[in-house]
Structures are given as structure tokens and as C-alpha cells.
């Protein structure tokens, strides 16, 4: 058995950095695909030349041709326009819905048994587009948001308490953005609930910073948005799936009644393995958490209703 093929679509900052992290694991053969001629080829050549220095045997190829990606085990979709300062995720909707629609159609044609991880914003609605257009089964289509949001919360807690980020366990569900639902009751430091470590007002401040995590990076960078943490989150999901680790990670998955959500992609804890989303893990939620998740799902539903007109 050779290494399995993973295709990253979109060779911008998120896609390029994801390709770098994937090829440097040495576990995968990576295809970096973009519609702008020269960018995927140039980045791939640069990454190929880095291989002897980082001890990687993974291969990478840059292309504009979907045929090169044929037979991919997993495809990461990062293509689309990024959010500009002051721009809402909703404003991205029409442009990115058309982009993801076209990508999903071409991926389904050449890699019919691939697992899809969607990263394009607005995340939950774009995952819905990819699922609807590809016609793949629900377990093979998911969105990356919760892993990133949870990592942001973990990093803020670790910095606040001056402890290793490894000691912090966090779980953020719901939509990506202001609608996310950090489950503070399930957030622990060395197995001890966060409420034992910090007063409520500090926890609330860290939650708020997590909800605005992407916007904070955008406002500092002025041009462009976050890509180091998003690409690391993508690779964590890819590894969980490809290594069949059964890791429980929050991601946008198609709920069919779980958490009172029906026929919508929304962030929930999922067991990830070689079949993709192998199980949606049911946690018991408080009334407030359930209400926050329902509100999050309602806003995703609105976006999906808008998106249907572009499909």
C-alpha cells in the first residue's frame, strides 16, 4: 500500500499551510489545487524542496486540473473569498456558495469515495452546499470550525492560568462565529472543571474572546485572516480520520434529530474515524446550552435557505 492521496483545494494561506503541514507529516501524498495558474505549482515546488530538510517522504503536486486529484481519500475545501475587515460572514454567502458548488461537483466526479472537510466560510452553510451537490452520504461530509474554536479557547485558558495547553480540555459546539456555544461545564484543566480555577467574569471574558477569535486576527493583520491555527485544526481532523483514531472532536456534521436539530449541519461532538463522522456524540445540555444551540441552528437554517437559490 502506498501513501493515500489527500487533495487540498484552494492554495491561499489556509490551503498552502494545510498542504505544508500534511506533507511534513510524511504520511500522505498531497495534491494542492487552485484555479490561479502558478500558485499551486509554485507553492508545491517550494514544499517539495523543503522535504529533505524536514525529513519528510510525503509527495506534493500543484495543479489546476481535477484529474490529478482523482482517487483522493480525503479532500479539504478551502477555496472561496476570505472575509475582509468589517465584512459579515453572510456577505460571503453568494460568492462562496457558487465556488463550493463548482468544487464539490468536480470532486464528486473524480473522487467519488472521498471524505470532504469544508473550511470555506460561512462554514455551516458551505458544508450544506458541499453535501447537497456531491450527494455523498452524511458521514463523508463535515465542516471544520469546532476544532479551531476549541483550540482558541484552550489557548486563552492556558495563557490565563499559565499552564500547558495540553492540560486544558475544551469543547465548543454550534455555529462558527458569534453563534458558537462553548460548553464551559465540560471544560476542564487537569480534569478539574474550569469554574474551580477562574471566577465567572474571567471565564465570560475568555468565551467572548473565543467567539471573536477570527475577527481579532483579521483586525490585527489588516489584510487576510487566520491560517496557522485553522490549518493545524484541519490536519488534526485529517489525522483523526486517516489514522482511524475514533477521536471525539467538534465539527459541523449533519444532524438528524440529535440535539433537537434536524437536517442541518451544525457543530456537534463527533467521533472521527476512517468512515468520517462515525457517530454524533450526545452530551446532556442545560436549558441555556440547548437554547444557545437552537439559536445557532436557526441562523444556520436561514443561511441554508438563502443558499438554495445558488444551487
Instruction: Kindly name the residue from 5, 27, 131, 176 that is annotated as catalytic.
Output: 176
CA atoms within 13 Å, Cβ hemisphere of 20 = 20
d(Cα 281, Cα 198) in Å, to the nearest integer? 28
Other Cβ atoms within 10 Å of 221 Cβ, number: 13
Interacting residues of 128 by C-beta distance below 8 A, sequence separation 6+: 264, 265, 300, 304, 307
Instruction: Identify the CA nearest to 145 among candidates 130, 171, 170, 123.
Output: 123
131 is catalytic: no
d(Cα 147, Cα 238) in Å, to the nearest integer? 12
Cell of 80: 472561496
With 0-12 / 13-18 / 19 or more C-beta atoms within 10 angstroms meaning exposed / middle / buried, residue 247 is: middle
CB 160 within 8 A of CB 179: no
Give the residues across from 277 on adjacent strands.
272
Sign (positive/negative) of CA torsion 104, 105, 107, 112? Answer: positive
Interacting residues of 126 by C-beta distance below 8 A, sequence separation 6+: 77, 80, 96, 97, 100, 118, 120, 143
Give the residues across from 63 on adjacent strands.
33
Instruction: Please identify every residue annotated as catalytic.
Output: 176
Amino acid at each position: 500500500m502506498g501513501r493515500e492521496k489527500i487533495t487540498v483545494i484552494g492554495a491561499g494561506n489556509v490551503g498552502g499551510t494545510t498542504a505544508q503541514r500534511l506533507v511534513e507529516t510524511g504520511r500522505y501524498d498531497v495534491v494542492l489545487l487552485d484555479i490561479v495558474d502558478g500558485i499551486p505549482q509554485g507553492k508545491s515546488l517550494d514544499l517539495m524542496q523543503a522535504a529533505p530538510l524536514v525529513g519528510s517522504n510525503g509527495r506534493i503536486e500543484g495543479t489546476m486540473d481535477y484529474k490529478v486529484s482523482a482517487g483522493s481519500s480525503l479532500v479539504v475545501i478551502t477555496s472561496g473569498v476570505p472575509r475582509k475587515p468589517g465584512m459579515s460572514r453572510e456577505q460571503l454567502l453568494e460568492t462562496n456558495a457558487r465556488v463550493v458548488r463548482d468544487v464539490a461537483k468536480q470532486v464528486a466526479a473524480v473522487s467519488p469515495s472521498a471524505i470532504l472537510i469544508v473550511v470555506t466560510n460561512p462554514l455551516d452553510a458551505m458544508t450544506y452546499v458541499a453535501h447537497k451537490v456531491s450527494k455523498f452520504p452524511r458521514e463523508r461530509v463535515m465542516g471544520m470550525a469546532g476544532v479551531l474554536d476549541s483550540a482558541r479557547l484552550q489557548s486563552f485558558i492556558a495563557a490565563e492560568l499559565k499552564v500547558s495547553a495540553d492540560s486544558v480540555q475544551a469543547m465548543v459546539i454550534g455555529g462558527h462565529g458569534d453563534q458558537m456555544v462553548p460548553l464551559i461545564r465540560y471544560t476542564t484543566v487537569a480534569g478539574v472543571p474550569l469554574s474551580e480555577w477562574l471566577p465567572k467574569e474571567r471565564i465570560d471574558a475568555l468565551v467572548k474572546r473565543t467567539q471573536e477569535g477570527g475577527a481579532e486576527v483579521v483586525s490585527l493583520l489588516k489584510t487576510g485572516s487566520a491560517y496557522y491555527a485553522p490549518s493545524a485544526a484541519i490536519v488534526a481532523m485529517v489525522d483523526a480520520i486517516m489514522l482511524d483514531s475514533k477521536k471525539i472532536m467538534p465539527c459541523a456534521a449533519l444532524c438528524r434529530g440529535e440535539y433537537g436539530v434536524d437536517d442541518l449541519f451544525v457543530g456537534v461532538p463527533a467521533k472521527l474515524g476512517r468512515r468520517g463522522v462515525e457517530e454524533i456524540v450526545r452530551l446532556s445540555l442545560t436549558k441555556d446550552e440547548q437554547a444557545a444551540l437552537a439559536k445557532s441552528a436557526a441562523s444556520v437554517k436561514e443561511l441554508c435557505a438563502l443558499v438554495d437559490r445558488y444551487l
